[in-house]
């Protein structure tokens, strides 16, 4: 029987792009057709109920129980017309995935009949048996369940035959067990803090919303090849694999023409996303072969996060249909670029103005500068928290590996805006500003809009870059829930804006004019936060040295990065803003450490398994072929055989060396695991896995990858890099 690898290669020869039936409607017409949005609500709810739901959404409030029944009935009618038979509360537990438990719209009555049913109680709250979701010791299995509750700011939608209701997930004791609960709290916190600051400049601003535009990178690999790679199936990445002769060195994939099969996949995946109200707009090839990116138009943060979680789900489902596997892991292939997510973040007012975009009046330019500088200052104060918020086992492969921004958090703003900050620093002096300085300063600030108009200054190596009208956090992992980093960013900026307001008010109380007070504090921040600003090449070794001099952290691995979550300073910050309690932070810390440890443990087991059960037997098989060849030569050539068989003899020896190397390292790795598994302390054990287990991965891989290029291609069991990355 031929191996799975060869069957897969055979299968791929017959693949054709899976053409989709023509959609009769345009993207714009299809947009949101599977979403219970305002127009669907209007059609399916009485005008009185409709009004109340909209009020709840706009006020960011829970739905009033008294109308939940009528909303549920309208929602069910709408969903059943779309083909839904089941409903689920759709939530985002700390596993990083989304969770759902489906119930049918169906109930039996006392007289033995059955009816379609979905009531207010089912809409508002569900009680999933949550003891098996990560809870970091908040609840043990004996205690009460957690519950999910509808968050009306994100609309319900139909996916396949299921009505999905976005919910928060909390313990009965009140602690958050998900990403959404704290995210919503940060949205409220930053709204309050930013609106207060906006009041200095424009009294008409009554609300500030956070906006997020994510960009999602992924790989597409033929499903048959993935099936022949147990490591890809179980861990999402290849644990072995020699680099192919051609990789990404020609840069011929980036923005290249999209291969037919991939394009057919994208079309269908985009149509499905559009129906779910996800405004996907951009698609292109990425740097690595078979790597792609998709990006939507930006949206309000909570909705954007839900849509990113959904997109990853839709992507996997549609890929399957097209006989692809969409790989979302941060580093599916060693020595080939990995995948990330870029989180473009900004703030917008109820009047529709982007606070990170300067306007036409001097006032709006000062406002721009205020939000711009406060964000930089926040990142300066809490850069370790940003680093922790993007930490994961997968992302450890990218950060600092010369393809993604380094593990050092810094801010890039471009030469022109740097010059503007220098001007503020120079002009704002003394207790009272003189009139000339004030006029000059305003003139300089007045130039910001034109500066930004042709601001092409882009630095792709920076983890946190200002890109004209938003900040772009580029170090997020491709599988991550965007909330993790957005919770931190919103929290630290909200805190910073509060501090700013306190200081400005203090000056005003002492008789300083408002504008002068604002400038004074901004100058102070500009000076204090200089060390976080870096305009050079973030991938270079020079920067590591420079950053060390500046006292910036460079935490390369997840277990170490996470520790900042449980510092007193962090607990105080999150408590002051009412985002997460100390207990909740402890729990999250524990969950993330456990998650890290389990991922490494699975990879380590998989490495041992593949090495001992596939690689070594294959190597021995080939070695046996060589041995019989040498014996045959000896038979016919007698004493002269050694000269003729020299190369085979060499190879036989090399194979033995690699086999010995693998066996030795696997056995040492298993010993290390055994010892660590006896440790109860989660942090200690995660750190142990990082320091004592991970180093064996590369050592074992070196021997395996050498064998890959020695052993006869015909019997090598695992699909090779050239096959996974270049088959179209």
Cβ 392 to ligand ADP, closest distance in Å?
A: 22
Please give the DSSP secondary-structure letter assigned to residue 93.
B
- Whichever of 147 and 292 has its CB closer to ligand ADP, that residue is 292
Closest separation in Å from C-beta 355 to ligand ADP: 9
Q: List the single partner that 213 binds among Mg ion, ligand ADP, none, CB under 5 to 8 Å by kind.
A: ligand ADP
| Nearest-angstrom CA–CA distance, 207 and 192 | 8
Helix (H, G, I), strand (E, B) or coil at 540: coil
d(CA 193, CA 253): 44
CA distance 384 to 407: 10
What track of x and - describes contact with ligand ADP for positions 440 through 469 (by CB under 6 A)?
---------------------------x-x
Residue nearest to Mg ion (CB): 342
| Binding characters for ligand ADP, 469-508, by CB under 6 A (x = yes) | xx--------------------------------------
List the one residue out of 690, 609, 624, 695 whose CA is nearest residue 655.
Answer: 624
Rounded Cα–Cα distance for residues 575 and 516 (Å) = 32
Q: In whole angstroms, what is the distance from residue 152 CA to residue 156 CA?
A: 8
- Which DSSP symbol is given to 468? S
| Minimum distance, C-beta of residue 272 to ligand ADP, in the bound complex (Å) | 19
Question: CB of 329 within 8 A of CB of 478?
Answer: yes
End-to-end CA distance of the chain: 26
Please tell me whether residue 278 binds ligand ADP under the rule CB under 6 A. Answer: no
Give the residue closest to ligand ADP by C-beta: 213
Residue closer to ligand ADP by CB (options 209, 694) is 209
Residue 469 interacting entry, from ligand ADP, Mg ion, none, C-beta within 5 to 8 Å by type: ligand ADP
Taking contact as CB under 6 A, which single stretch among the options 116-124, 269-277, 291-299, 379-387 is the one that binds ligand ADP? 291-299
- For residues 136 and 213, which CB has a smaller minimum distance to ligand ADP in the complex? 213
Which residues of the shown chain bind Mg ion in the complex (CB under 5 A)?
342
Residue 311 near residue 280, CB atoms below 8 Å: yes
What are the CB-based long-range contacts (under 8 Å, 24+) for 452-460? 452/357, 452/358, 452/416, 452/417, 455/414, 455/416, 455/417, 457/414, 457/415, 457/416, 458/414, 459/412, 459/414, 459/535, 459/538
Distance CA 5, CA 389 (A): 38
Q: Least distance from C-beta 297 to ligand ADP, angstroms?
A: 5
Residue 613 has what DSSP assignment? I
DSSP 387-427: HHHT--TTGGGTBTSSSB--SS--EE--HHHHHHHHHHHHH
Give the nearer residue to ligand ADP in terms of CB position, either 162 or 346. 346
Select the binding partner of residue 455 from ligand ADP, Mg ion, none (C-beta < 5 to 8 A, by kind).
none
148 or 337, CB closer to Mg ion? 337
| CB-nearer residue toward ligand ADP: 169 or 345 | 345
CB 287 → ligand ADP: shortest distance, Å? 12
- Our CB check for Mg ion shows the closer of 217 and 381 to be 217
Select the residue interacting with ligand ADP from 271, 298, 641, 689 (CB under 6 A). Answer: 298
Q: What is the DSSP secondary structure assignment for residue 208, as one 8-state letter?
A: E
What residue has token string 């999209």? Answer: 258
In the bound state with Mg ion, the residue whose beta carbon lies nearer, of 89 and 342, is 342
Minimum CB distance to ligand ADP, residue 607 (Å): 35
301 binds ligand ADP, rule: CB under 6 A? no
Assigned token pair, 315: 């992507």
Count the residues of the shown chain that bind ligand ADP, applying the rule CB under 6 A: 15
Q: How far is the CB of 299 from Mg ion (least distance, A)?
A: 16
CA dist 385 and 176 (Å) reads 19
Give the residue with the Cβ less far from ligand ADP, 105 or 254. Answer: 254
Nearest approach in angstroms of CB 455 to ligand ADP is 11
- Considering the complex, state which of residue 295 and residue 522 has its C-beta at the smaller distance from ligand ADP: 295
Q: Could you count the other beta carbons within 10 Å of the beta carbon of residue 569?
A: 11
562 part of the interface to ligand ADP, by CB under 6 A: no
Binding status of residue 344 toward ligand ADP by CB under 6 A? yes
Q: Contacting ligand ADP (CB under 6 A), which of 273, 346, 462, 665?
A: 346
In the complex with Mg ion, which residue's Cβ is closer, 229 or 342? 342
User: Judged by CB under 6 A, does residue 601 bind ligand ADP?
Assistant: no
**Chosen from Mg ion, ligand ADP, none, partner binding at 558 (C-beta under 5 to 8 Å by type):** none
The distance of closest approach from Cβ of residue 198 to ligand ADP in the complex, given in angstroms and rounded to an integer, is 16
Chosen from ligand ADP, Mg ion, none, partner binding at 125 (C-beta under 5 to 8 Å by type): none
| Residue with tokens 């660590």, as numbered in its chain | 676
Q: How far is the CB of 213 from ligand ADP (least distance, A)?
A: 3
Our finding on whether 210 is near ligand ADP (CB under 6 A) is: no
Q: Give the C-alpha separation, 8 to 716, whole Å.
A: 13
Decide: 508 and 517 in contact? Cβ < 8 Å.
Answer: yes
Q: Is 332 in contact with 720 (CB distance < 8 Å)? A: no
Specify the residue, 297 or 598, whose C-beta has the smaller distance to ligand ADP. 297
Burial class (CB in 10 A: 0-12, 13-18, 19+), 27: middle
Kindly state the smallest distance separating residue 327's Cβ from ligand ADP, in Å.
Answer: 21
Q: Check residue 273 for interaction with ligand ADP (CB under 6 A).
A: no
Pairwise CA distance, residues 649 & 626, whole Å: 8
Residues 105-135: b if buried by 16+ CB within 10 A, e if exposed = beeeeeeeeeeeebebebbbebebebeebbb
Region of 296-304, 566-574, 665-673, 707-715 interacting with ligand ADP (CB under 6 A): 296-304
CA distance 702 to 708: 10
Stretch that binds ligand ADP, among 73-81, 206-214, 499-507, 555-563 (CB under 6 A): 206-214
Q: Which whole-number Å values give the CA distances from 587 to 76, 119, 135, 490, 686, in the listed order? A: 37, 34, 6, 20, 15
- Asked if residue 213 binds ligand ADP (CB under 6 A), the reply is yes
Nearer to ligand ADP, 304 or 690 (CB): 304
Q: Which is nearer to Mg ion, 343 or 484 (CB)?
A: 343
- How many Cβ atoms are within 10 Å of 329's Cβ, its own excluded? 22
Q: Is 354 in the site for ligand ADP (CB under 6 A)?
A: yes
Residue ranges binding ligand ADP (CB under 6 A): 211-213, 215, 295-298, 344-346, 354, 467, 469-470
């Amino acid at each position: 029987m031929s191996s799975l690898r060869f069957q897969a290669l055979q299968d791929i020869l017959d693949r054709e792009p899976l053409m989709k039936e023509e959609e009769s409607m345009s993207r714009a017409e299809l947009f949101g057709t599977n979403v219970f949005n305002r127009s669907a609500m209007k059609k399916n709810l009485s005008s009185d109920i409709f009004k109340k739901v909209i009020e709840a959404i706009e006020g960011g409030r829970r739905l009033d129980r008294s109308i939940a029944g009528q909303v549920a009935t309208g929602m069910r009618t709408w969903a059943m017309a779309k083909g839904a038979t089941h409903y689920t509360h759709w939530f985002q537990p700390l596993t990083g995935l989304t969770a759902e438990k489906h119930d049918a719209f169906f109930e039996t009555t006392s007289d033995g009949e059955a009816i379609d049913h979905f009531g207010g109680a089912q809409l508002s709250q569900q009680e999933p048996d949550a003891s098996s979701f990560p809870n970091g010791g908040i609840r043990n299995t004996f205690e009460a369940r957690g519950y999910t509750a509808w968050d009306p700011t994100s609309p319900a939608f139909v996916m396949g035959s299921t009505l999905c209701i976005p919910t928060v997930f909390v313990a009965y004791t009140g602690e958050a067990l998900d990403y959404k609960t704290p995210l919503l709290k940060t949205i409220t916190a930053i709204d309050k803090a930013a609106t207060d600051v906006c009041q200095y400049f424009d009294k008409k601003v009554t609300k500030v919303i956070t906006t997020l535009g994510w960009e999602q990178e992924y790989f597409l690999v033929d499903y048959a090849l993935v099936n022949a790679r147990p490591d890809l199936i179980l861990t999402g990445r290849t644990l072995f694999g020699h680099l192919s002769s051609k990789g990404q060195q020609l840069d011929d994939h980036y923005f290249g023409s999209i291969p037919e099969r991939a394009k057919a996949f994208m079309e269908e995946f985009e149509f499905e996303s559009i129906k779910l109200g996800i405004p996907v707009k951009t698609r292109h090839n990425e740097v690595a072969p078979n790597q792609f990116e998709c990006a939507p138009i930006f949206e309000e943060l909570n909705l954007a996060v839900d849509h990113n979680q959904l997109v990853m789900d839709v992507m996997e489902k549609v890929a399957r249909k097209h006989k692809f596997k969409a790989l979302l892991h941060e580093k599916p292939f060693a020595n080939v670029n990995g995948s990330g997510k870029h989180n473009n973040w900004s703030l917008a007012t109820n009047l529709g103005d982007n606070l990170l975009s300067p306007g036409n009046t001097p006032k709006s330019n000062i406002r721009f500068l205020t939000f711009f500088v406060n964000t930089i200052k926040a990142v300066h104060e809490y850069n370790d928290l940003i680093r922790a918020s993007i930490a994961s086992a997968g992302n450890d492969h990218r950060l600092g590996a010369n393809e993604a921004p380094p593990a050092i958090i810094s801010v890039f703003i471009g030469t022109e805006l740097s010059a503007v900050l220098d001007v503020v620093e120079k002009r704002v002096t003394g207790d009272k500003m003189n009139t000339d300085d004030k006029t000059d300063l305003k003139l300089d600030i007045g130039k910001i809009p034109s500066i930004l108009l042709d601001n092409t200054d882009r630095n792709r190596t920076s983890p946190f870059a200002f890109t004209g009208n938003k900040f772009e956090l580029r170090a997020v992992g491709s599988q991550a829930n965007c909330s993790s980093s957005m919770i931190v960013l919103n929290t630290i900026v909200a805190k910073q804006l509060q501090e700013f307001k306190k200081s400005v008010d203090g000056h005003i109380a002492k008789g300083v004019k408002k504008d002068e007070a604002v400038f004074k504090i901004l100058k102070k921040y500009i000076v204090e936060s200089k060390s976080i600003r870096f305009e050079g090449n973030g991938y270079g070794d020079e920067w590591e040295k420079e950053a060390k001099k500046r006292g910036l952290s460079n935490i390369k691995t997840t277990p170490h990065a996470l520790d900042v979550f449980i510092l007193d300073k962090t607990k105080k910050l999150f408590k002051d803003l009412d985002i997460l309690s100390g207990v909740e932070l402890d729990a999250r810390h524990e969950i993330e450490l456990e998650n890290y440890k389990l991922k490494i443990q699975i990879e380590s087991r998989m490495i041992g398994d593949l090495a001992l059960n596939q690689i070594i037997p294959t190597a021995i098989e080939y070695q046996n072929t060589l041995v019989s060849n040498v014996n045959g030569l000896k038979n016919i050539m007698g004493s002269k055989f050694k000269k003729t068989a020299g190369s085979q003899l060499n190879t036989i020896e090399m194979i033995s060396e690699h086999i010995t190397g693998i066996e030795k390292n696997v056995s040492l790795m298993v010993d290390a695991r055994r010892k660590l598994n006896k440790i109860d302390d989660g942090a200690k054990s995660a750190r142990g896995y990082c320091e004592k287990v991970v180093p064996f991965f590369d050592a074992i891989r070196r021997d395996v990858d050498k064998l890959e290029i020695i052993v006869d291609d015909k019997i090598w069991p695992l699909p090779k890099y050239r096959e996974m990355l270049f088959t179209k």
